[in-house]
Structure 1
């Protein structure tokens, strides 16, 4: 296009146009928006660019003259500005440019331009929780089932591409250790970001990736918010209130959430052990009732010190209570001896709390677009007690009837501080650097006691009780460099992290580790014609064991099974590479990713037979021990894809899935275990009427091998609908999860002298009805959501 500009102008000093595109209501960056520069008066195209992940754009080497700058972001009103580049003022620095959301007319249906339920970008996947009707009344674990390659087991444990080393963040900071996704109400969340291959700005922790839980924060002008209550079948209740008021330089907001649920389930466990020439078997079948209650309060304040400086403060308090009762029948067989039939009961009581204080400061410079300084400090206090109790309610007179109780009392303190700085060298190059320090200190006790006979006092057992103290410090630093051209974007980074820990368990002993690591990362991206983007990325990461995986503290789940840490456990290291491609058409967006993940010193959970404890028990039982070990190498490589397509003006289709080869080191013998596996998710969003939205969704997780066995397939179907009322001031949502009651966990494990088959069926078919009242301009979408090409999100450190 430069050939269309008169030669006299092109010979003069070239000019430039730069700025930052932000959401008018939230002041969040708008990435991947199109910016074009048109020559006046004939509107000939002179230059074009896309905004970066921070919403910035720069058009360089522009001949002097008069131009029209036009921006276009999906779901936002196109914005235009006239600029004049002269010899006296060759640079037009537009500063922060605010874009306003706008409805888009499609035939007879009005579509509110806003984020889709799932945005699949090349470097992360963003789930907009409120847009997913199937999460109504559910938890964060329910929402994550929609993400390619993500699986959540019955204990809320998340795995990504078959790896459980996933790091949880809450609003861009390490999440409290007590946080469980299956107990976190979805109503508390605005978005969930899944980052599969983080760069140097992110902590290297999380071999499987990072999941950032972003809580709701009302930021629009005036009063805004929503109140929601949900009732589910068989005693399930969820209520939330989110309010905010923004006036001038001040934005005040708060969230109040409560959850009170009862779930019923059944389980069966068959174990066969061979020790000292004798074979012992246990068959257990039973039912479980789980009652969980969570309360959360969050208050926040944002204050604009000036147009270039912002300060944020938040205070949060969470309380989590769990009561679980398991009644089951155990059949014991040992050789040719007659079987013993026992009636058992296990009880668990969790009383946990979390307090969290956070502050954040952001500084920009209008005279230096792209220059940015951020600093933050966070203090988290976790605490509470976990009590487990095992009883024999009925059985042979010869079998001991004493009850066992373990009380864990823990306090965890986690202060954290970080600073990040970005400095542009020019409109095409910039560097960034940051420092961060995390500290974790946790003293605690594990008291063990027995009740000799029914009704007697519990007697403290000093030999089986422990005191422990764990301290971990993580100083970190990183540097990045980024360079852009018309079609290419290069970024390299290097992160340095030191791990220093001390763990002491009395009377078991102590351990310490001091480890220094470097973590390089690199990304190359190219913008292709016709709204396409290609990106290649690499990063080295690690998975540090948590303190319960390291300290030699036995925790009893029942009388025959316990979990204990391994003081010799070391971090798992992983290399991750991804090649992604994204293309957008008028009604379709397609993202595909080829990925490879290769880990060494892989951390695995292993169940084995504790022959010494079995011998000491003197009973026809056997004791199974679960611990952790660095077990060889693991690898997974394959393909992920995500497709969104507007079939008609009232029907939108979302399909995502993965297909990959999963390979782990075999525990039972030399060599490896491998299989082809994957996940699939299908979401249909229908708007048969102007105020009615219906969603049908289904997910499938293929069988997966583990070092000691395999996990069977898992699948289910959900249905939900939302009816808007009172001119969009309110909405009623109906939802049924696992419509055909098919979701169940089935695990097969095998070790030397031990086999185990575990089947678990929690209450997954649940009906929910919810009512939501919207305050201010915080209204639901009119019908089907559009899919944008990106989302701000993100965090550093």
Structure 2
């Protein structure tokens, strides 16, 4: 037995040495093996018994050690870092634990004596601190413990400890925007294409696992309803967090999940900043300037950015409609231009009252201008009338301005690590106008030549307040609670006008003009309990939300809802041997109808199509379950997730022929109407896989994909439609030299069924490179999106008496050249630790 034990010891002592990363392993190995040889039979039994105990090996006593692990540069907490307690005399491992999400750790029940506390965090230098537990001071509080990013020597090249562009965890995916070279000159919509099961259409509408009910957050607070991902510059963002199955501490809104857009906020000591300018082919430009200045207990930060993009596009439509026994065939081709212009100014100040208290204030202003022009040539054939040709032009002009003010107060207790109080308030004010016009440029004399216009005057008020509190019962148990109230008020007008002759003024018509008001109030409260028991971790929570909304449209009618809901959630996780983790989670969520889906106000996209809400529309409820497994090896991380989504009262959009409007129009074609309705139960389920692999010192591979059964309710209400679909994304990161980085990526979205048809496959390839210059004071980035010009949208729809085939192709193959200059002590580091941190804003409550 003694010989067997010694053999096993020799087999594993190399791993021990490598784990502690000592500079001279030869001096440590004899001490380990010598110590193990001297252990008798009873000693071995004790070690075996101790190894079977969950959690830590602790010498029972009155002592204790606590502290908070922080990033030295950003002073952000480091969660899930390993804390080791070693006996100072012989470096024997006495106990270990992990830091909590806020970076805190506690070791208790320690015998008095001299120890060394060692902290190990991925991507950071390991640090040690001697500690003495004496009778006069048995409890030692280390306070804030600052650690620096690791520097690893690879063949003479020093590379800073590095996080990936895409970080996959169980139930959560984080995209580090500044690490993704393909973000240069792009938008948030471009970045989100890299997340498993995510799809973003040409209008910036995002869907997750085939579900478009995704809740957007901006810095941890609900985003304005008019936020468009395709108009939000990627340069404004630090990270994007995608949470597929949120717990009770998150809002229940969004059956598809939550996407939190975290904006840049510099908090590095001293004076720091960066400037960025990017130019793209065919009139596309972005620029950004951000920085911070830390003076004593104050940190001042600011960001200003702008974007001006011109995109060209084309479209084709083949449509057949039957009204009153007569069939109309439409064959349409079109060309379009889309100009996006926006700029933003964001200012913030943080004040550290004490080591336990901090206040943050942020103010932001932005302006967005959106112009589209579409020219169509349409061949109309209506039995038995001979075919004729039409030329139409549709234009849209959006002019929006918004402001946001928010404040946060955070309170911690050094005597009670993990205890935290957060209170915050925010207010959004968005105002603007949206003008759409439709003109007939050429056609038969019998066809109306009057130009039509819809003018929307939009105002959005969004106040929000919340309080969250976390209280640890001990080092293994804690409870958390919070309250929150969100409000939304949108008064406005919609004026319909007609231009009798080209060049004349538009004359308002009472018919088709409306005044509207929409109000929504959602008070909420939640509570959750978390318990760690050895290798197991449990969390259960309950969220209560009341929905009160009222909508009034004059002169058509009103709508109101008053609903109280309970949303339970639970998570069970198990730590497995060899760096593995297994987790199962469940939550109940809701998709509340939004303003456009409820209010009975028609919005005209062109002269033949309009969208109108349904006052009888009710919320959609969904049960979400996930089973995830994570495994980590030396250079590989593999995440696998099985998921299921079971919905009732599914909200679906429907496109039909408006036969009444078609008769009244007096034109030889037809008018379509898009609205919303609740259908029956649906169920979708599938598999997601993500892999991060370091192939060589200069090549890192990130791959993710999904394969799932997507089920939707049939538009006829007599069943469901389903297909097996999926997504795939592959990112190659190359470092051919110490200053050059290259990324090659490709994505694919398989065909997807919708209630009235299906969307065909979309795929493309992107390439980018970044060269660091002037001793890391600057960087030059070159990228080409959609290298082979393959990304385009194909859709096939069918309804009673209506079939449509639609093809759209926007300008997706674009070359971008960007230049960045880093100010102060900030440099073009290869690691995310060298980039500004964002303010998550606190998603709780």
- Which secondary structure does the structure 1 equivalent of 2:368 belong to? strand
Instruction: Give the Cα separation in 2 of the matches to 1:325 and 1:578.
Output: 44
| Residue in structure 2 matched with residue 577 of structure 1 by the alignment | 625
2:169 to 121, 133, 138: 121
Distance 1:584 1:299 in 2: 40
TM-score, with structure 2 as normaliser? 0.91
Which of these residues, 115, 118, 124, is aligned with residue 67 of structure 1?
115
1:381-436 per-position Cα deviation (integer Å, ceiling 9, x unaligned): 01100000000000111111110000000101011000001111111111111010
Task: Note the C-alpha offset of 1:118.
Answer: 0.7
SS of the equivalent of 2:395 reads strand
Match of 1:499 in 2: 547
Structure 1 residues 65 and 530: alpha-carbon distance in aligned structure 2, compared to 1, 3 A threshold: farther
Matched, 1:381 2:429: yes
Residue by residue over 1:139-181, the C-alpha shift from the partner in whole angstroms, topping out at 9 and shown as x without a partner, is 0000000000110000000000000000110000011122100
Return the match for 1:243 from 279, 291, 299: 291
Alpha-carbon distance in 1 for matches of 2:367, 2:840: 30
Which residue of 263, 269, 280 maps to 1:232? 280
- 1:462 counterpart (497, 510, 516): 510
Q: Does 1:350 align with 2:415?
A: no
> Which of residues 366, 387, 390 in structure 2 aligns to 1:339?
387
Partner of 1:422: 470
Please show how residues 242-261 of structure 1 align to structure 2 within 5 Å.
Answer: 242-261=290-309
Kept in 2: contact 1:140–1:184 (CA 8 A): yes
Asked if residue 359 in structure 1 is aligned to residue 407 in structure 2, the reply is: yes
Residue 383 of structure 2 corresponds to residue 328 of structure 1: no
My pick for the range that moved more, 141-150 or 591-600, is 591-600
- The structure whose residues are more often helix, as a share, is 2
Partner of 2:320, secondary structure, is strand
| Deviation of the 1:584 alpha carbon | 1.3
1:204 CA drift (Å)? 0.6
Residue 442 of structure 1 deviates from its aligned partner by 0.8
- 1:411 and 1:659 map into 2 onto residues whose CA distance is 41
User: Does the 8 Å contact 2:691/2:702 carry over to 1?
Assistant: yes
What's the counterpart of residue 510 of structure 1? 558
Among 816, 821, 830, the residue aligned to 1:768: 816
Change (3 A) 1:527 1:89: farther
Structure 1 residue 775, shift from structure 2 partner = 1.4
Specify the alignment match of 2:239 in structure 1. Answer: 191
Q: Shift of the alpha carbon at 1:764?
A: 0.0
* Residue aligning to 1:723: 771
Matches for 1:85-234 after TM superposition, within 5 Å:
85-234=133-282
Cα distance in 2 between the residues matched to 1:469 and 1:11: 67
**1:735-754 alignment, distance < 5 Å:** 735-754=783-802
Q: Gaps (5+ residues) in structure 2? A: 1-43, 51-56
8 Å Cα contact 2:342-2:367 kept in structure 1: yes
**CA offsets, 1:616-662, max 9 Å, x none?**
11111101001111122232211111111111111111111111111
SS in structure 1 of the partner of residue 418 of structure 2: coil
Distance change >3 Å, CA 88–CA 581, structure 1 → 2? farther
The 2-side partners of 1:304 and 1:253 are apart by 14
**Residue 664 (structure 2) pairs with residue 664 (structure 1):** no
What per-residue deviation string (whole Å, max 9, x for no partner) do you get for residues 72-125 of structure 1? 111211121222334554433333222222322222332211321011111311
Residue 690 of structure 1, CA deviation: 1.4
> Partner of 2:25 in structure 1?
none
CA distance in 2, matches of 1:90, 1:530: 35
3-state SS in 2 of match to 1:620: coil
After TM superposition, the structure 1 stretch with the greater mean CA deviation from structure 2, 498-507 or 480-489, is 480-489
How many angstroms does 1:11 deviate by? 8.2
Correspondences of 1:446-595 after superposition (within 5 Å): 446-595=494-643
Q: Aligned pairs, how many?
A: 792
> Whole-Å Cα distance in 2 between the matches of residues 779 and 11 of structure 1?
46
Match in the other structure for 1:604: 652
After TM superposition, give the deviation of residue 247 of structure 1 in Å.
2.3
Following TM superposition, by how much is the alpha carbon of 1:14 offset from its aligned partner in structure 2, in angstroms? 5.1
More off after superposition, 772-781 vs 162-171? 772-781
Instruction: Measure the CA separation in 1 of the matches of 2:385 and 2:538.
Output: 71
| CA contact 1:692–1:783 (8 Å) conserved in 2 | no
Residues 28, 792 of structure 1: 8 Å contact kept:
no
State the distance in 1 between where 2:179 and 2:60 align. 51
Matched, 1:284 2:325: no
Map 1:255-270 → 2, pairs under 5 A? 255-270=303-318
Q: CA deviation at 1:262?
A: 0.2
- How far off its partner does 1:296 sit? 0.4
Paired with 1:253 and 1:712, the residues of 2 have a C-alpha distance of: 45
Residues 411-468 of structure 1 show CA distances to partners (whole Å, capped at 9, x for unaligned) of 0101100000111111111111101011111100000011122233212110110000
CA distance in 1, matches of 2:708, 2:680: 20
| Alpha carbons 1:193, 1:793 under 8 Å: kept | no
Instruction: Supply the distance in 1 between the matched residues of 2:641 and 2:95 (Cα, whole angstroms).
Output: 30
- The answer to whether the aligner puts 1:371 opposite 2:419 as a matched pair is yes
* 1:479-530 Cα deviation digits (max 9, x unpaired): 1111112311111110000000111000110011000001111111122222
Supply the distance in 1 between the matched residues of 2:795 and 2:302 (Cα, whole angstroms): 42
Residue 311 of structure 1 pairs with residue 359 of structure 2: yes
Cα separation, 2, equivalents of 1:193 and 1:635: 25
Q: Distance in 2 between matches of 1:793 and 1:301?
A: 14
> Against the structure 1 CA distance between its residues 669 and 567, is the aligned structure 2 distance closer, same or farther, given a 3 Å change threshold?
closer
User: In the aligned structure 1, how far is the partner of 2:483 from the partner of 2:664?
Assistant: 52
1:26/1:37 Cα in 2 relative to 1: closer, same or farther (>3 Å)?
same
Residues 308 and 340 in structure 2, CA contact (< 8 A), matched pair in contact too: yes
Distance 2:367 2:562 in 1: 34
Corresponding position: 1:55 with 2:128 = no
Q: Distance in 1 between matches of 2:222 and 2:840?
A: 19
- If you compute each CA radius of gyration, which structure gives the higher value, 1 or 2? 2
Distance 1:527 1:82 in 2: 29
Determine the C-alpha separation between the residues in 1 that align with 2:49 and 2:512.
88
Cα distance in 1 for residues equivalent to 2:108 and 2:705: 40
Question: Closer, same or farther in 2 for the Cα pair 1:5/1:289, shift >3 Å?
Answer: closer
Give the SS at the match of 1:598. strand
In structure 2, what is the equivalent of residue 274 of structure 1?
322
Contact persistence 1:114–1:781 (CA under 8 A): no
2:698–2:736: 8 Å Cα contact kept in structure 1? Answer: yes
Q: How many Å separate the matches in 1 of 2:795 and 2:80?
A: 43
SS at match of 1:612: helix
Q: What's the TM-score, normalizing by structure 1? A: 0.97
Distance 2:770 2:252 in 1: 41
C-alpha distance in 2 between matches for 1:24 and 1:360: 23
Question: Could you tell me how far apart the structure 2 residues matched to 1:695 and 1:168 are?
Answer: 28
Contact kept, 8 Å, 1:17 with 1:91, in 2: the verdict is yes
Partners in 2 of 1:83 and 1:537 — Cα distance?
A: 40
Q: Deviations over 1:278-331 (max 9, x none)?
A: 111222210000011000000000100111100000000010001110011011
The answer for unaligned runs of 5 or more in structure 1 is: none
In the alignment, structure 1 residue 732 sits paired with structure 2 residue 758:
no
> How far apart are 1:792 and its partner, in Å?
8.5
Alpha-carbon distance in structure 2 between the residues aligned to 1:56 and 1:477: 26
Counterparts in 2 of 1:513 and 1:6: CA distance versus 1, 3 Å: closer
| Distance in 2, Cα, partners of 1:279 & 1:782 | 62
Cα separation, partners in 2 of 1:792 and 1:286, compared to 1, 3 Å:
closer
Alpha-carbon distance in 2 for matches of 1:123, 1:674: 25
RMSD, matched Cα:
2.0
What SS does the corresponding residue of 1:461 show, helix, strand or coil? strand
